Structure 1
Amino acid sequence: MNLPNLLTLCRFGLIPIYVVFFTTNQLKTAFLIVVLAGVTDVLDGYLARKRGQITQVGAMLDPLADKCMMLTVIISLLVSGMIPWMVAVAMFIRDAGMIIGSAFFHFRGKQTVPANSLGKLTTVLYYFAFLFIFFDFSFAIAYLWFVVGVSFVTSIIYIILFLALNRKNDTLSQ
């Protein structure tokens, strides 16, 4: 256990705290919890790289913590009627697919693709979408649809990188 992994675990702990604030209609505080989760995500990645503490466990738990927080936010926004069900389904399919796919291939000994700048940009775009939704900007849902489109493009790029990485590793091991 190292500090970056501990910060990742803290992100899992922020999920029920977010739910409590959201369900008690303290939306600004709930949004700040989401931002805090984002800050811990940036911080754990920075510390892991700076201290040379990148681990396989961290590489798997970090995106899982992010996806779990995102799915929690999506579900809460859907249940509250703040986003349409179609956008929630699109977001859920994308994020659940990434979680299930990563876990499936990880446990089969496949290499996972580390987060890259396009994935990080997509996350930042989602945070802006949440900001716009939580603070009721008129263009929030249109912007969210744009971000969902970007996230699917990002996922396709990750899949291509994953296939290339593992094809290369399979060739080297033969």
Structure 2
Amino acid sequence: MNLPNLLTSLRFVLIPVYIGVFANGHMIPAFLIMVAAGITDILDGYIARKSGQVTTVGMMLDPLADKLMLITVILSLLLAGLIPWAAAAAMFLRDLGMIAGGMFYHFRGKKTVPANWMGKLTTILFYSAIMFIFFGAPFAESYLWAVIAFSFITSFMYIALFKALNKPAADPLNMQEGEPEKKEA
């Protein structure tokens, strides 16, 4: 257990804390807990890269913690009537698909793609959309839909990266299917 993984674990602990605070109607403290989770996300990645503490466990838990926190926040906003069902469904579909895809590759012994700048940007945009929702900005729902569209674009990019990273290398000694036959002289 290193410091980055400890910070990631803290995000898991903040989820029930957020639920309790939000359920008791304390919107600003709930928002601040969500922001604290976002800060730990930034810090754990920065510390892991700068100190050479990137681990396989961290690469798996970091996006899981992000997704679970985001799903929790989305569900709370949906149940409070602050976002439409369709937006929540789109976000759940995308996030659950990313979690399932990552687990599928991980448990099949395949390489997983660590969070990259597109994923981090998507998370930042989601957090800003949620901030606008928390504070009742008139453009919040339109902005949320734009972020949802962007998130699906980044998901397709991750899928392409997963496939490319796990593509079997061509064996020059054995011909692969689809290769033309060599003619003997």
Determine if the TM-score, normalized by the shorter chain, exceeds 0.5. yes
Where does 1:118-129 land on structure 2 (aligned, <5 Å)?
118-129=118-129
CA distance in 2, matches of 1:130, 1:74: 8
Give the residue type in structure 2 aligned to 1:118.
M
CA distance in 2, matches of 1:105, 1:116: 17
Where does 1:36-55 land on structure 2 (aligned, <5 Å)?
36-55=36-55
Offset, 1:50: 1.1
Pick aligned residue for 2:169 from 159, 168, 171: 171
Q: Which has the higher helix share?
A: 1
2:178 matched to which residue of 1? Answer: none
Q: What is the DSSP-based 3-state SS (H/G/I as helix, E as strand, rest coil) of the residue aligned with 2:166?
A: helix
1:92 matched to which residue of 2? Answer: 92
Offset, 1:172: 6.5
Where does 1:2-151 land on structure 2 (aligned, <5 Å)?
2-151=2-151
CA distance in 2, matches of 1:60, 1:116: 13
Give the residue type in structure 2 aligned to 1:136.
G
Q: Per the alignment, do residues 55 and 172 of structure 1 end up closer, same or farther by CA in structure 2, a change over 3 Å counting? A: farther
CA distance in 2, matches of 1:151, 1:111: 22
CA distance in 2, matches of 1:138, 1:20: 27
CA distance in 2, matches of 1:159, 1:101: 8
Give the residue type in structure 1 aligned to 2:117.
S
Please, what is the CA RMSD of the aligned residues? 1.2
CA distance in 1, matches of 2:115, 2:82: 29
- Tell me, which stretches of 5 or more residues in structure 1 are unaligned? none
Offset, 1:121: 0.9
Give the residue type in structure 1 aligned to 2:108.
R
Q: What is the DSSP-based 3-state SS (H/G/I as helix, E as strand, rest coil) of the residue aligned with 2:53?
A: coil
CA distance in 1, matches of 2:139, 2:25: 22
The ranges of structure 1 where at least 4 consecutive aligned residues each deviate by more than 2 angstroms after the TM superposition are none
Q: Which has the larger radius of gyration?
A: 2
Offset, 1:149: 0.2
TM-score of the pair, normalised by structure 2: 0.91
What is the aligned residue count? 172
**Could you report, residue by residue, the CA deviation over 1:1-22 in whole angstroms, capped at 9, with x for unpaired residues?**
1110011000000000100111
Q: Per the alignment, do residues 172 and 5 of structure 1 end up closer, same or farther by CA in structure 2, a change over 3 Å counting? A: farther
Q: What is the DSSP-based 3-state SS (H/G/I as helix, E as strand, rest coil) of the residue aligned with 2:37?
A: helix
